[in-house]
Structure 1
């Protein structure tokens, strides 16, 4: 996902799935971000990011880390950071 259009597509998918957080394209041509929500919804978003992605993306691999349970959400929606 190298364009802001790809990030907007990811935003739309996150909203449909009911997760919050953010996504950002890096200068290295990768995508970074954070996803929060109920475990089943986060897992569904992780699956989408790993297997589907935006129409313009090429997914070589995904790396999820720092996963933990939280008592409250840090975000109220899903956005693109620049």
Structure 2
């Protein structure tokens, strides 16, 4: 029997000065470094939203810290709202990408 790893996932929305400051680029770099799959994109509300998926809960916790406290060098994060935390059987994407 093959043991299937549990995939943990959550959606996020980051508020503050997060557009026009390379926030998505740095978020993609961090996600790739942590082997997290999903996406990040700008919204018309001047926030950044996205989804993160990984079978490593510690990596996701490091990523949450990045979204809450680090971001890009020029960003100013007011808050990060995490929603839809759940487990899944398979990934919804094969990598982490910037959605336009």
What is the TM-score normalised by the length of structure 1?
0.91
Q: Which has the higher helix share?
A: 1
SS of 1:62 mapped into structure 2:
strand
Aligned residues: 82
Of 4-13 and 56-65, more deviation after overlay is shown by 4-13
Which among 59, 75, 78 is matched to residue 57 of structure 1?
A: 75
Q: Give the corresponding residue for 1:43.
A: 61
Structure exhibiting the larger radius of gyration computed from Cα positions: 2
- Give the TM-score normalised by structure 2: 0.76
1:26-59: CA deviations, max 9, x gaps?
A: 1111110000002111111011110101112110
Q: Does 1:17 align with 2:34?
A: yes
The whole-number CA distance in structure 2 between the counterparts of 1:21 and 1:75 is: 6
User: After TM superposition, which residue ranges in structure 1, 4 or more long, deviate above 4 angstroms?
Assistant: none
Distance 2:59 2:33 in 1: 10
- Across the aligned residues of Structure 1 and Structure 2, the Cα RMSD in angstroms comes to 1.3
Match of 2:19 in 1: 2
* Contact persistence 1:3–1:25 (CA under 8 A): no
Aligned to 1:66: 84
Partner of 2:46 in structure 1?
Answer: 29
